[in-house]
Homo-oligomer: A and B are copies of this chain.
């Protein structure tokens, strides 16, 4: 019997990579979906491709959607990425790295692909604990999207294929994610979490995504195998 298909949103960061490993461990035939959405860091796409190879995912679609036409985010417009945010302040206010409606857009495409594949499962690596406070990472958003999705498609309304959105990381801390990924054989050296990597794909070590990742590795008692522009400085922070 063939394995059921699941669409997994894969950015190439540690959370989405761990999520893909979880979907594989649960017996799904993973269909990875990555977006080139005008983010400044093309290195993210290279990381996604490496992860796809390492996890032996056989289907990977990279979709172009140019969110730069709207602007409004440090990730897609000419706005500086915040650096060196004190850890206690992360998540207190939504930072400029918030991309308007990004997860809504990503999940909408995942929904379209799932319907074409006759798949009933979508995985997304959102996390509402060690995170930057983005509204579209919260459980209530995901539940609401799932309800909407089950009214949106022929699959759900006529063919009885109800969709489930899986968020296996949503209540985990970063170090729990790292420990879980490690237990599933994820090689975190391939993943790239940084909002503002160098042209060579080295992480900055100072944006909120790097700070949360580095804290996670410290708390897990592990060395972060990722490449950093200034490892010493950031790991001492």
**B-binding residues in A (CB < 8 A):** 61, 63-67, 69-72, 94, 98-105, 108-109, 111-113, 115-116, 135-136, 138, 140-141, 144-145, 147-149, 151-158
Q: Bound complex: CA of A115 vs CA of B104, how far in Å?
A: 13
Chain B nearest CB: distance from A159 CB in Å?
Answer: 10
Do A66 and B67 have beta carbons less than 8 Å apart?
no
Do A116 and B71 have beta carbons less than 8 Å apart?
yes
Chain B nearest CB: distance from A150 CB in Å?
Answer: 9
Q: Bound complex: CA of A156 vs CA of B158, how far in Å?
A: 32
Q: Is the interface of A mostly helix, strand, loop or mixed?
A: helix
Do B152 and A104 have beta carbons less than 8 Å apart?
yes
20 A-B pairs in the complex with CB atoms less than 8 angstroms apart: A63-B65, A64-B65, A65-B65, A70-B116, A71-B116, A72-B115, A94-B154, A94-B158, A99-B112, A101-B111, A101-B149, A104-B112, A104-B148, A135-B151, A135-B154, A135-B157, A141-B148, A144-B151, A145-B148, A147-B147
Chain B residues with CB under 8 Å of A109's CB are 101, 105
Chain B nearest CB: distance from A10 CB in Å?
Answer: 15
Count the copies. 2
Q: Bound complex: CA of A18 vs CA of B83, how far in Å?
A: 47
Closest CB pairs A-B (n = 4):
A72-B116, A101-B112, A100-B115, A144-B148
Do A101 and B108 have beta carbons less than 8 Å apart?
yes
Do B66 and A64 have beta carbons less than 8 Å apart?
yes
Do A154 and B64 have beta carbons less than 8 Å apart?
no
Residue of B nearest to A147 (CB): B144
Chain B residues with CB under 8 Å of A156's CB are 135
Q: Are A100 and B66 also in contact (CB < 8 A) when A72-B115, A105-B105 are?
A: no
Q: Bound complex: CA of A148 vs CA of B140, how far in Å?
A: 9
Q: Bound complex: CA of A147 vs CA of B104, how far in Å?
A: 12
Chain B residues with CB under 8 Å of A113's CB are 70, 100
Q: Are A138 and B151 also in contact (CB < 8 A) when A64-B66, A69-B61, A108-B104 are?
A: yes
Q: Bound complex: CA of A152 vs CA of B102, how far in Å?
A: 9
Indicate which residue in B67, B116, B152 contacts A112 across the interface (CB closer than 8 Å). Answer: B67
